[in-house]
Structure 1
Amino acid sequence: MFELHFATAIELVAKIKSHEISAVELLDYFLDRVETYNPRLNAIIWMDVEGARARAKAADEALAKGKNWGPLHGLPMTIKESFNIAGGPTTWGRPDHKDNMADSNALYVDRLLGAGANIFGKTNVPINLADWQSFNEIYGTTNNPWDLGMTPGGSSGGSAAALAAGLTGLDAGSDIGASIRNPAHYCGIFGHKPTYGIVPSDGQALPGFFNQADIAVVGPLARSAEDLALSLDIVAGPNQITSTAWQLNMPAPRKTALKDFKVAVMLSDPAAEVEQSYQDRLQAVADALAKAGATVSDRARPDIDTARAFEIYILLLRAATSRSAISEQLAYFETVAADPNTDRDSYLARMARGVLLPHREWLTLDNERAFMRHAWTKFFQEWDILLCPAATSAAWPHDHAGERHDRMITVNGKQQRGVDQMFWAGYPNMVFLPSTVSPAGLSPEGLPLGLQAVAAEGEDKTGIEFCRLVSNEIVGFQAPPGYE
């Protein structure tokens, strides 16, 4: 059964439904792998084995009676710790919430269960979901299966590591600052950040939070683009409050063959210089696209000032995340904002300004964002995909020292603030666009690199289909060594 752990979710469910393997056997198979490999990774940090075995048994009994639970019938899977599962912990890695046990499921969880999934565990996160690493005092540090000394990304780092190592059949995360996309890139898997608002985030929250934060979304991570598409179909659509007024009708992919796609390629930007070897790998993908007949341009761009877009993104991002700031943090940011020696263009200064942003200024920034959304809409009238990096480099070594905004990484032999990578998170995310990350090959050091495919607002299936075609015809999922 070597092939099972790196099979796609669709393939695994097909094996259950064809009686090649039972849901109980498949669950036990993954639990055995968790027991073997999770100690070195610390990707899965909570499990309900008893409940999962009972559900697997029920899935087999239902199938024996001719009952089909849905497209995920009996699939063993995990989900990010930040989603509520009744009876399980939802801490967001925060010590002050270490005893918080959910009394109901997130809507995303209920939709997965309604499609037949068997969710047996939860995956690790950074504190407050606020890092491109995944470590906290409650659960410890998650390692990258390609190199245990490297970050798996964050905040959905546990999810990506578990999928890459073949410990689970499917997963889901959240994304406001590339928290689905950078782990997919660092671990060599697939991740989709949906168009803002099409997938409800109800129950992906700490106690007392009920609204969907600005920019923030929830979406799938997987070992194939096909699994992303299936997951999105299952979880997308209005919640109970909005379902009276509207229903979701996502358009089909614009194109279904690489030769028909029009692809704009953006390899770097002054706001966030990208490692040359990473640029070269993306260029190789672009060259392969052109060879396949696609129309490819390295000049086409939306008419947007990227530096200003990055500034607005950080301000709106930190305004959105300020609702969880404690009083000591607010006092610190007030000090930073009032200090005349603070560099107003620094990430820290923009972070402080965003946390303290007056509503009138937020409205002004939101108006600028609306202008940029129109510019993107015009761009996508001519182009189908913007292909760009998901970060500035491959995964980098664990670094838990000091504050996140002070930590440095090395790009092209130079020191770069790790938070500069947020540019590639915010460029599409601030304006609500869907973005899919899929494998683009390996770095010279043998670490995964991902391409980011940005599509028009609401046209999530175009980006996913593009990545499906790329993975089938150019470069796709590769398993990390040592997890056979």
Structure 2
Amino acid sequence: MPLDLPFQTAKQLAAAVRKKKIGCLELLDLYLKRVETYNPRLNAVIATDIDAARKRARAADTALKANKKLGPLHGVPMTIKESFDVEGYATTWGDPAFKDKIAEQNSLVADRMIDAGVILFGKTNVPLNLADWQSYNDVYGSTNNPWDLARTPGGSSGGSGAALAAGLTGIEAGSDIGASIRNPAHYCGVFGHKPTYGVVSYKGHTRGNVSVGDITVVGPLARGAGDLEIAMDIMAGPDEIDGRGWKLALPRSKKERLRDFKVAVLLSDPNAEVDHTVQDEIQRLVDFLAKKKVKVSDKARPTIDTAELNDVYVRLLRAATSTRLSEAAYQEAQHDAATLPADDMSYFAQMQRGNSLSHRTWLQLNEKRHRMRLAWDAFFQDYDIMLCPVSVTAAFPHDQEGLRHKRTIVVNNNKVPVVDQIFWAGYAGVTFMPATAAPIGLSPDGLPIGVQIIGPQYGDYSTIAFARLLEQEYRSFEPPPGYH
């Protein structure tokens, strides 16, 4: 049975507009009404410019009537993660110090999506400095998961995931350095794609800076895998300066059936034990693939020490975000790194080492990273994709008390540090590879569970293609109850 209009994919919404089954203004007003009705319980959409959006929608209707050439997402209402610059909106990253910082021009991703025809009407919530798997801050408050309001929608693109799942928007754009696209997709039951590092311009997603940090990327979230491909077609490519010297040519997937793929699967890892509710859903998927005569191996692995990978990732991650630290916090990190035992591999120890990393040590870690990158590339000569968890559990209850690295979640009936699951973000991210998150089932508590589909560097369309086949043959987006 086709989904109700608000829950259809952006591709389906654009087709309805092109076929004149619904007008652009009418479609926008449908989503605005849903935001008015459902957003108070979610707090996913935290800023809107309705007058400007309606003006754009009327212009889009006029263009349709005039038979003008339309973009692939003509008339599709869109919200965007708060951290992207959009002219006339504040860009705070959840920090009250920036609540009056109004963007004077659009980020490149926003411009490209608008040029493709979207009707951008609002922004969605984030955690402070985009640094949590929850989405709350002192500027906009807390965002709830539409599947269970007592739980997190994920982060840092948590408002994006919640708005999509609840049918408050047509498509979204997020960012990801620590699973910030993949994690909300998993927690909210939608699709998300973390692109290969560098293929989508970061311009306008730096809160006043002009350089791009290590590891971090921007990319799409959607209710369908096909939307991810459309959005990557739109977003990807160099900015105007880099475009003087290079053009992007991501290879298209030529595989048309699931059994065309050679698949490896990893259900858990000693660095971040995965709850059996998540492992069981991935195993069910693997069993389905086997019945479809897909070549699946639960033994194939890149020749990488995953403990070393996790150490390299956490230190490079914290180094990449260390510019946000105050001088006092930086000095404290230096002191901790110098005094903690060398064999202390806790997240806190790795974090402080990363926060105070010397450039010499960064270069040494980068060498290790690139050796792992080559090991992954060798692995992908034999296998097309790696399936693994996005994180260690389904969405966990809100917990905003104390320091993040001291909070815990329950995994297989044991309390473990919530930060342990950062491993699954870095498994693909630290070595620049693309990863698509796709919904595959529900936990016994009725919460969404997704799978992470990792591919070779620049194999973005391959991981998305696999997600699209899963969507067609295994499980597609399903709305949370109570939002029809």
What corresponds to 2:27 in structure 1? Answer: 26
RMSD (Å) for aligned C-alpha atoms: 1.2
Task: Specify the code of the residue in structure 2 equivalent to 1:195.
Answer: T
1:325 positional shift: 1.7
Q: Which 5+ residue runs of structure 2 have no aligned equivalent?
A: none
**Conserved? CA contact 2:206–2:212, under 8 Å:** no
- Give the structure 2 partner of residue 42 of structure 1: 43
Alignment partners' CA distance in 1, 2:71 and 2:280: 42
Write the mapping of 1:229-268 to structure 2, written as runs, cut at 5 A. 229-268=229-268
Per-residue displacement from partner, 1:389-421 (whole Å, max 9, x unpaired)? Answer: 000010000000011110000000001111000
Aligned to 1:53: 54
Partner of residue 142, structure 1: 143
Partners in 2 of 1:114 and 1:329 — Cα distance?
42
Give the Cα–Cα distance (whole angstroms) in 1 for the partners of residues 382 and 254 of structure 2.
12
The one-letter code of the counterpart of 2:459 is: E
Q: Which amino acid aligns with 2:366?
A: D
Contact residue 340 and residue 349 of structure 2 kept, 8 A:
no
1:470 corresponds in structure 2 to 470
Match runs of 1:290-305 below 5 Å: 290-305=290-305
Q: Which residue of 1 aligns with 2:367?
A: 367
Deviating above 4 A after TM superposition, structure 1's stretches of 4 or more consecutive aligned residues are 340-343
The letter of the residue matching 2:249 is N
Partner Cα distance (1:65, 1:147) in 2: 45
Determine whether 1:212 maps to 2:212: yes
Q: What residue is the counterpart of 2:460 in the other structure?
A: 460
Indicate yes or no: 2:180 matched with 1:179. Answer: yes
Alignment of 1:73-112 (within 5 A): 73-112=74-113
Q: Counterpart in 1 of 2:222? A: 222
Q: In the aligned structure 2, how far is the partner of 1:346 from the partner of 1:144?
A: 29
Aligned equivalent of 2:396: 396
Query: In structure 2, what is the equivalent of residue 276 of structure 1?
Result: 276
The residue identity in structure 1 corresponding to 2:196 is T
Q: Which secondary structure does the structure 2 equivalent of 1:250 belong to?
A: coil
- Cα pair 2:17 2:75 within 8 Å, conserved: yes
**Matching residue of 1:352:** 352
2:70 corresponds to 1:63? no
Gaps of 5+ in 1: none
The residue identity in structure 2 corresponding to 1:482 is G
Secondary structure of residue in 1 paired with 2:237 = coil
Larger mean Cα displacement after TM superposition, 18-27 or 64-73: 64-73
Q: How many residues align?
A: 483
Amino acid at match of 1:35: E
Is 1:419 the counterpart of 2:426 in the alignment?
no
- Give the AA of the match of 1:454: I
In 2: Cα distance, 1:343 partner to 1:185 partner:
33
Hey, what's the Cα distance between the residues in 1 that align with 2:342 and 2:140? 35
Verify the 8 A CA contact 2:125 2:135 in the aligned structure 1. yes
Give the structure-2-normalised TM-score. 0.98
Helix, strand or coil at the partner of 2:212: coil
Deviation per CA, 1:410-446: give whole Å up to 9, x if none: 0000011110000000010000000000001000110
Name 1:17's counterpart in structure 2: 18
User: Which letter does structure 1 place at the counterpart of 2:430?
Assistant: M
Residues 343 and 349 in structure 1, CA contact (< 8 A), matched pair in contact too: no
Provide the residue aligned with 1:132 in structure 2.
133
User: Alpha-carbon deviation of 1:256?
Assistant: 1.7
Identity of aligned pairs, percent? 55
Q: Distance in 2 between matches of 1:61 and 1:46?
A: 26
Deviation digits for residues 167-215 of structure 1 (CA, Å, limit 9, x no counterpart): 00000100000000000000000000000000001001212x1111110
Residue by residue over 1:308-350, the C-alpha shift from the partner in whole angstroms, topping out at 9 and shown as x without a partner, is 0000000000111112222232133233224447973111111
* 1:461 partner SS: helix
Q: Find the aligned partners of 1:182 and 1:206 in 2 and give their Cα distance.
A: 22
**What's 1:121 paired with?**
122
Q: Which amino acid aligns with 1:128?
A: N
- Structure 1 residues 213, 340: closer, same or farther in 2, change over 3 A? closer
Whole-angstrom distance in 1 between the partners of 2:254 and 2:162: 32
Contact 1:254 1:384 in 2 (8 A): no
Q: Deviation string for 1:342-368 (max 9, x for gaps)?
A: 973111111111111110111111011
Shift of 1:278: 1.0
Deviates more, 1:61-70 or 1:159-168: 61-70
Which amino acid in 2 is paired with 1:330? Y
Distance 2:342 2:97 in 1: 31
CA distance in 2, matches of 1:278, 1:151: 17
Deviation at 1:462, TM superposition (A): 0.4
**Match of residue 6 from structure 1:** 7
Q: Is the 8 A contact 2:48 2:123 kept in 1?
A: yes
CA contact (8 A) 1:255 1:261 kept: yes
Task: Report the Cα distance in structure 2 between the residues aligned to 1:140 and 1:341, rounded to whole angstroms.
Answer: 38
